[in-house]
Structure 1
Amino acid sequence: MVLEFVDSSLITFIVGLVMVVVLLAVWDLPAFVGLAIATFAVGLVNAVFLGDFTYGDAAARTATEFGNGMAGIGIPILMAAIIGKSMLESGAAQRIVRAFQSVVGESNSDFALWGSSAVLAIPVFFDSVFYLLAPLARSMRARVGKNYTLYIVAVGAGGATAHVFVPPTPGPLAVANEIGVSLGLTMLIGVAVAIPSAAMSGLVYGRWINSRLTIPLRDTMGTTTEELKQRAKRDMDSFPGVFESVLPILLAVVLVASSTIIDSVLNAPGFLKWVVENRVVEYLSVDISVAQLTSALSTTETAVAFIGDKNVALTIAAIVAALTYLRWSDLSRSVWEDELTEALKSGGNIAAITAMGGAFGAMLAASGIGSYIAGGLKGIGIGLLVTAWLIAAIVRIAQGSATAAMLTTAGIMAPLASQLTVHPAYLVMVIGAGGNICSWYNDSGFWLVKEIGGLTQAETLKTWTVVTTLISVTGLVTVLVLSTVFPLA
């Protein structure tokens, strides 16, 4: 009788929550096994309550969602494993770390990682940035001998903040398009919101938690702690040059960003017309119309669609990193190949866990929990900005995906944007803030940070989960202050 008064999607969410806590936190099963069991269980509950969801779907759709997850992150994680292994073993990561320290000083190493992560994540998805910078955080820890908690938090906070606030990162770009906000102003406000949010979560909280939580270096991504420490003691002459060291990161970011930026420019309402009308291209002595500029960019987009795909871009970066590893090591080719294979084995485990975490979130989403929560909050009599933040936040906690939470909320709030007394770009920001909150077991990003960073579940909750929550809350507060002082309406 009690079930008659409780929405089925809420029951499904509670079952999923209890399952992952018992399997992963209490029984301490291997992450992939625990997540698989919990995902199958959620599928069975869906089959009980949903008319279009059969018991066979509980198994088949779990496998499908897992496959979809692997399609998105399988190749990037495997190639990131090669990049990480190669940069660490060749000394390239140490070379970059020492270059950072020569500029900002050893005591401010977290600033270098934090700033690099934030800037790189503007044109590129967060996961790609974390793949590339986590080895630098590990090398920084090996070099300094402490502060790994701070370094991993700085990398995570910088990337995660740009990921939800600053176009042309795909999430805020899609929300801005849905609500109909100009890209330029959204970028400016996004930066204004991102800076305090990233500073609070990455630097302030990072230094606070670093003084209270010591996370040791652990073997991960095919590289042992002892190997890292040995390379941290080597002379500079035994490392590749700065350009060769940083080339894999530059290649990955530039190739992925080229596709993202061109796509953003082509789809930004009125941008190309503005470029032509303001004679921007005349500085290049080019006489061109909007149609010609669009055609030229479309042709370029076709050309970079292949190499700008993150799977291909990271593969190219992995090849370059691996060749540097071969050049700067005394390994025979057969031993070098064996070392790369070991890295791929480690990357395969990480990819499997991350994809299953995404499948768990997708099966929760299939229950309709997102729509149930969004519908329940839509009519609450509070300000539209806070309402949008609440909807995005609760949908995110319930089903895991930040992007899905942002797009769900954007669809609900877009028709209400005309009722705002401030510029609708602020609505984009609060939706991004809410969608970033509390990354936990049903978010594939949680498992990515845990596995690549070499953290325990408890350490990931105390660092990454808190960081995403601080970004969300600080972002909301910043938007409320900015919109009050500068409504721009």
Structure 2
Amino acid sequence: MAIEFAHSPLLTFILALAAVILLLVVWDLPAFVGLIIAAFFVGIINAVFVPDFAWADAASRVAAAFGENMAGIGIPILMAAIIGKSMLESGSAQRVVRGFQSALGRENSDIALWGSSTVLAVPVFFDSVFYLMAPLARSMRARVGRDYTLFIVVVGAGAATTHVFVPPTPGPLAVAAEIGVNLGMTILVGVATALPAAFLAGIVYGRWINRRLDIPLRDTMATTTEELEELANRNTSSLPGMFESLLPILLAVVLVGALTFVNSFRDVLPTLEAIRPYVQFIGNKNVALTIAAMAAAHTYYRHNDLDREEWTEELTEALRSGGNIAAITAAGGAFGALLAASGIGDYITGVLAGIGIPLIVSAWLIAAIVRIAQGSATAAMLTTAGIMAPQVSQLDVHPAFLVMAIGAGGNIFSWYNDSGFWLVKEIGGLTIGETLRTWTALTTIISLTGLVVTVVLSSVLPVVARILPFL
């Protein structure tokens, strides 16, 4: 039973931060173990101080949150492990990389990866985009022999930016629905906001940090650096064809994108309702990535001269690697969920209520603080949308700009309590310090740039609209 006296959730947040740093940085425990212990620790604090949070909940809620996160990412990560290993070791990823370089030139390899991840993240969840693009980043590094820091940053920046700004990506789509803003206008403003933010975080910051941080290519996704380097030196004629190489990515994007399309436009095109049940099945990310994984595995089998038993063993090895990544990612989500149960979100919004700053900036600030405290960008965005929705009538700009401000705030400073942080670290083969200097930094740059662009656009566009009739 909770002790009923004044306790600030901010203290819980500080203690949780100290615990995770002690466990993961000072004691260097395995990420999964450290995050689960940190989650139990937060659960104990909640049991002592939070009303209606029983001692039994300190354990059961950690397990439940872990299970909920695993339900969301378990199958996709395991299938992504098969896709990653199959594309890397069959030579498919290397074939795609060479195609990029032929089209844009070797010196523009980063722009090819950046553009691809930015576009893919519009119809597909961020995590799915990173699963698909990480093998290409690793193969690009093996091909050019340098710049892995840059390749990881551009992939992360492209995927993370459209994830929070451009519907029909689920986060901004839900925020737009909560606020009641026109979807078409939100998409236009989202693209205008996302492109400069993605470019600054991906290309500008990526090239800057790449000159100062050289991340080596480590063994991850069940593939060694020696195998990647051997593939990088193969003759192109011995690699799979371009269409076959791209097929796993195309299948995942088309299938998941079809579900997004049907859900977004079924009111406009009522005939889509008839096929919606079938698209809901094959467009589910679990099914879509399973289909994509089977396509990648088939290419791996055809191009590597393996017998069926060897092929099965290689896929099992990939699943072992994927299981570890899934466990760490779900543990990070559980840690964030226990922090959220402390009431830190309500505490923050209560403190900020009535400060008197402009609504656009206030929305960004609330979303940013909730994101840092709780970990989930989507949860921060939806929490803030619910708070700001009643105040939309007080806006003197189009409410689409409010959606952008909320998305920008919800993207800031991804760290230990965000499952995305651990996904990038594990799939990218990074250390915690490297993840902070790349992923955490780029999410913060996206957030700040998004706020600045939103404020500028919301100030300039009304003026232009008033001038246009006189031109």
- Shorter-chain TM-score tier: over 0.9
- 1:376 paired residue number: 351
2:78 aligned residue: 78
Give the alignment partner of residue 411 of structure 2, picking from 436, 441, 463. Answer: 436
Whole-angstrom distance in 2 between the partners of 1:54 and 1:5 = 16
Q: 1:400 aligns with which of 375, 393, 396?
A: 375
SS in 2 for 1:51: coil
Superposed CA deviations along residues 39-95 of structure 1, whole A, max 9, x for unmatched, are 000000000112211111100110000000100000000000000000001000000
Equivalents in 2 of 1:350, 1:10: separation in Å? 30
Q: How do 1:48-59 residues align onto structure 2 when only pairs under 5 Å count?
A: 48-59=48-59
> 1:8 Cα shift?
3.1
| Cα distance between partner residues in 2 of 1:427 and 1:39 | 33
Q: What whole-Å deviation, never above 9, does each CA across 1:314-363 have from its counterpart, x for those lacking one?
A: 00000000000000011111111111100000000000000000000000
Q: What does residue 207 of structure 2 align with?
A: 207
SS at match of 1:486: helix
CA contact (8 A) 2:165 2:404 kept: yes
Instruction: Write the distance in 2 (CA, Å) between the matches of 1:266 and 1:55.
Output: 47
Taking the TM superposition and a 5 Å limit, the aligned residue runs for 1:254-403 are: 254-266=254-266, 272=268, 293-294=269-270, 296-403=271-378
- 1:250 equivalent in structure 2: 250
d(CA) in 1 for partners of 2:275 and 2:389? 32
State the match for 1:486 in structure 2.
Answer: 461
Q: State the partner residue of 1:280.
A: none
Among 429, 444, 469, the alignment partner of 1:454 is 429
Q: Distance in 2 between matches of 1:299 and 1:367?
A: 44
Report the counterpart of residue 290 of structure 1 in structure 2: none
* Partner SS state of residue 156, structure 1: helix
Question: 1:97-121 CA distances to partner (integer Å, 9 max, x unpaired)?
Answer: 0000001111110000000000000
Distance 2:137 2:350 in 1: 42
The alpha carbon displacement at 1:427 in A equals: 0.2
Q: How many correspondences in the alignment?
A: 462
Q: What's 2:235 paired with?
A: 235
Give % identity. 72
Q: CA deviation at 1:9?
A: 1.5
Residue by residue over 1:209-251, the C-alpha shift from the partner in whole angstroms, topping out at 9 and shown as x without a partner, is 0000000000001100000000000001110000000000000
Q: For 1:264 and 1:169, locate their aligned partners in 2 and report how far apart those are by CA, in whole Å.
A: 10
TM-score (norm 2): 0.97
Looking at structure 2, the residues matched to 383 and 4 of structure 1 have their Cα atoms a distance apart, in angstroms, of 36
Mapped partners of 1:202, 1:7: distance in 2: 41
Residues 4, 49 of structure 2: 8 Å contact kept:
no
Deviation (angstroms), 1:4: 9.5
Q: CA deviation at 1:479?
A: 0.6
Q: What does 1:42-191 align with in structure 2 at a 5 Å threshold?
A: 42-191=42-191
**1:6 to partner: Cα distance:** 6.2
CA distance in 2, matches of 1:126, 1:261: 17
Is 2:80–2:289's contact at 8 Å kept on the other side of the alignment?
A: yes
**Secondary structure class of the residue paired with 2:275:** helix
CA displacement 1:165-203 (0-9 Å, x = unmatched): 000000000000011110001000000000100000000
Residues in 1 aligned to 2:10 and 2:153: alpha-carbon distance in whole angstroms = 32
Distance 2:297 2:131 in 1: 15
CA–CA separation in structure 2 for the residues paired with 1:60 and 1:8? 23
Shift of 1:12: 1.4
Give the corresponding residue for 2:386.
411
Q: Secondary structure at the match of 2:266?
A: helix
Q: Distance in 1 between matches of 2:179 and 2:163?
A: 18
Residue 276 (structure 1) aligns with: none
AA in 1 matched with 2:305: D
Unmatched 5+ residue regions in structure 2?
Answer: 467-471
- Find the aligned partners of 2:103 and 2:86 in 1 and give their Cα distance: 24
Q: RMSD over aligned Cα, in angstroms?
A: 1.2
Q: CA deviation at 1:14?
A: 1.3
SS of 2:167's partner is coil
Distance in 2, Cα, partners of 1:51 & 1:376: 20
Shift of 1:376: 1.2
> How far 1:7 sits from its partner (Å)?
4.0
Matches of 2:461 and 2:146, distance apart in 1: 42
Is 1:424 the equivalent of 2:399?
Answer: yes
* Shift >6 Å, 4+ stretches: 3-6
TM value normalised by structure 1 = 0.93
Q: Which runs of 5+ in 1 are unaligned?
A: 273-292
Letter in 2 for 1:239: L
Quick one: which amino acid aligns to residue 180 of structure 1?
G
Inter-partner Cα distance in structure 1 for 2:341 and 2:250: 38
Secondary structure of 1:409's counterpart equals helix
Q: 8 Å contact 2:5–2:49 — kept in the other structure?
A: no
Q: Say whether residues 1:31 and 2:6 are aligned partners.
A: no
SS in 2 for 1:14: helix
Letter in 2 for 1:75: I
One-letter identity of the residue aligned with 1:442:
N
Show the counterpart of 1:193.
193
